[in-house]
């Protein structure tokens, strides 16, 4: 049997004196998704940051395609798209400039047409030349999620992707996630509302509150 | 080359932000005001002014660079774009180098270009002004490079503005000594080659190691 693409072994995370979770084993293969549940402060974001390689776990390790992510940072980050709970946009730049800067720093060549298409897909065609500071929280969120259309990545790690989005936008994003899974992508997400990702893709739910 | 394009992407982004915000230009204004206040406060004694000119201008340059340093990573840290840079498939060191270059272009290079005008206020000869410009040209990138390490180390700490100053200013001492010393020894007729060589050596050393040190400090600060 082939080894699963994303594996975590015996992960634990300690914040201050509190152990958020310990001995956490996960595995995720292509076309599968993992939904993290838990109350505020249960360690959802901490786990996402550990999986993305932003934070080191107190114990255990994360493997990507069979080898530890700290040993192959460039390759892992090529395959990974992480969108945190931050706005992640420069307030003084327009959405187009923001996306262009993000893509070019990732080493991607994108032209204005690609960006316009991605923003149109997210329903922001009329807002593409406005500075991010005048946009609403939901519009910023959608602008940032337009990155998922511009950057090919096998593994998406999304922290609260549905935050501040209206009902239609949530449906759009869920379709985006379904399409990603149907193409064999992987997805790890947290959310305070249960995502509906169809029955085709195999999903797991992990409740972190129980470990406290 | 893909690595170079990531460097220019970071550089271009930071310059674009400066153009939009425009407050960064105040750093240059700070340099002009401090160096203008000194002759006014000390009084019109050409001999004394000529004597203090190199030191005064170098200290003003150190303080002006320090002003821009606090914002070098703090803004990107606050809005989460720094996180995205860390997660870029391109080496973080390259992106950091692009940001440091942008900082120098905005906070360092204008000081070099303004030096002749300021030098006139101190009644420096045109030769001495030339030497001063050259020391600033070699020295200001050094200030940006060393400062970036301090800015990365204090990222996210409370009162980081003050911490950066306390951490970085002592590191600036060699640059200050050789920078101001070059002009002084030229005026004294001793030649400035020795000072230039040492400044150049410091710059090469900093250019080779400071981006790596800054990257390591950023990774720790982001944990």
Q: What is the pLDDT of residue A82?
A: 92
The Cα–Cα gap between B16 and B39 comes to 35
Q: Name the minimum distance, in Å, from the CA of B110 to any CA of chain A.
A: 23
The Cα–Cα gap between B104 and B129 comes to 21
Average pLDDT over residues B71-90: 89
Residue B199, pLDDT > 90, answer yes
Give the least confident one: A57-66, B19-28, B46-55: B19-28
Nearest residue of B to residue A55, measured between CA atoms:
B223
Nearest residue to B106 via CA among B20, B2, B5: B20
For chain A, which residues score pLDDT lower than 70? 1-3, 210-212
Sorted by sequence, the CB contacts under 8 Å of residue A201 that are 6+ apart come out as A31, A32, A33, A178, A181, A182
Q: Does A105 contact B79 at a Cβ distance shorter than 8 Å?
A: no
Per DSSP (E only), the strands in chain A are 6-15, 18-28, 32-37, 59-64, 67-68, 80-83, 155-159, 186-190, 202-207
Q: Name the minimum distance, in Å, from the CA of A199 to any CA of chain B.
A: 31
Burial class of B94 by CB neighbour count within 10 A (0 to 12, 13 to 18, 19+): buried
Cα A62 → chain centroid: 16
The Cα–Cα gap between B66 and A23 comes to 45
Nearest residue to B139 via CA among B165, B168, B172: B172
Which one has a higher pLDDT value, B121 or B1? Answer: B121
Nearest-CB residue to A105 (from B9, B21, B79):
B9
The tokens describing B184, both together, are 């002084």
Strand order in the sheet with A186-190: A80-83, A155-159, A186-190, A32-37, A202-207
pTM score, whole prediction: 0.91
Q: Name the minimum distance, in Å, from the CA of A81 to any CA of chain B.
A: 8
Average pLDDT over residues B53-80: 90
Q: Does A104 contact B6 at a Cβ distance shorter than 8 Å?
A: yes
Q: What is the pLDDT of residues B98-135, one digit of tens each?
A: 999 999 999 999 999 999 999 988 888 899 999 999 99
Q: Tally Cβ neighbours within 10 Å of residue B117.
A: 12
Which one has a higher pLDDT value, B156 or B207? Answer: B207
The tokens describing A54, both together, are 């932003």
Contact (Cβ atoms closer than 8 angstroms) between residue B142 and residue B202? yes
Q: What is the pLDDT of residues A72-131, one digit of tens each?
A: 888 899 899 999 888 788 888 999 999 999 999 888 888 888 899 989 988 888 888 888
Q: Name the minimum distance, in Å, from the CA of A129 to any CA of chain B.
A: 14
Q: Does B80 contact A78 at a Cβ distance shorter than 8 Å?
A: no
Nearest-CB residue to B84 (from A53, A88, A91):
A88
Q: What is the pLDDT of residue A2?
A: 62
Q: What is the pLDDT of residue B25?
A: 79
Q: What is the pLDDT of residue B157?
A: 82
Q: Does A107 contact B88 at a Cβ distance shorter than 8 Å?
A: yes
Q: What are phi and psi of A153, to 5 degrees?
A: -150, 145
Nearest residue to B98 via CA among B193, B7, B197, B188: B7
Nearest residue of A to residue B82, measured between CA atoms:
A88
Which one has a higher pLDDT value, B32 or A193? Answer: B32
Average pLDDT over residues B83-106: 93
Sign of the alpha-carbon torsion through A66, A72, A78, A83: positive
Nearest residue to B218 via CA among B10, B28, B51: B10
The tokens describing B51, both together, are 């004597």
Q: What is the pLDDT of residue B160?
A: 82
């Amino acid at each position: 049997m082939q080894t699963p693409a994303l594996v975590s072994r015996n992960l634990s995370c300690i914040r201050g004196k509190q152990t958020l979770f310990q001995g956490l084993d996960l595995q995720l293969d292509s076309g599968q998704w993992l939904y993290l549940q838990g109350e505020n402060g249960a360690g959802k974001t901490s786990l996402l940051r550990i999986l993305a390689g932003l934070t080191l776990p107190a114990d255990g390790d994360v493997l990507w395609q069979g080898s530890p992510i700290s040993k192959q940072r460039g390759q892992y980050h090529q395959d990974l798209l992480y969108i945190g709970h931050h706005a992640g946009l420069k307030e003084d730049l327009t959405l187009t400039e923001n996306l262009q800067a993000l893509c070019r720093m990732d080493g991607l060549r994108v032209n204005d047409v690609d960006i316009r298409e991605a923003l149109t897909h997210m329903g922001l065609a009329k807002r593409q030349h406005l500075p991010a500071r005048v946009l609403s929280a939901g519009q910023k969120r959608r602008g940032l999620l337009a990155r998922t259309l511009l950057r090919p990545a096998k593994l998406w790690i999304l922290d609260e992707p549905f935050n501040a989005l209206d009902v239609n936008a949530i449906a759009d994003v869920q379709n985006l996630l379904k399409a990603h899974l149907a193409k064999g992508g992987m997805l790890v997400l947290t959310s305070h509302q249960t995502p509906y990702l169809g029955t085709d893709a195999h999903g797991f739910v992990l409740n972190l509150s129980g470990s406290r | 080359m893909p690595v170079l394009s990531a460097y220019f992407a970071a550089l271009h982004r930071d310059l674009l932000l400066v153009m939009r915000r425009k407050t960064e230009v105040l750093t240059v204004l700070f340099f002009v005001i401090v160096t203008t206040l000194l002759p006014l406060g000390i009084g019109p004694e050409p001999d004394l002014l000529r004597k203090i000119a190199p030191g005064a201008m170098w200290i003003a340059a150190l303080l002006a660079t320090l002003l821009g340093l606090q914002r070098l990573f703090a803004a990107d840290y606050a809005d989460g774009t720094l996180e995205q840079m860390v997660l870029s498939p391109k080496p973080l060191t390259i992106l950091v180098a692009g940001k440091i270059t942008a900082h120098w272009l905005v906070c360092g290079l204008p000081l070099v270009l303004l030096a002749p005008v300021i030098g006139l206020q101190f009644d420096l000869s045109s030769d001495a002004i030339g030497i001063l410009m050259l020391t600033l040209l070699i020295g200001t990138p050094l200030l940006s490079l060393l400062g970036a390490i301090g800015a990365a180390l204090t990222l996210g700490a409370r009162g980081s503005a003050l911490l950066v100053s306390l951490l970085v200013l002592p590191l600036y001492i060699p640059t200050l000594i050789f920078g101001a010393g070059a002009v002084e020894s030229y005026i004294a007729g001793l030649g400035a080659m020795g000072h230039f060589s040492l400044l150049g050596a410091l710059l090469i050393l900093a250019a080779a190691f400071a981006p790596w040190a800054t990257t390591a400090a950023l990774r720790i600060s982001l944990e």
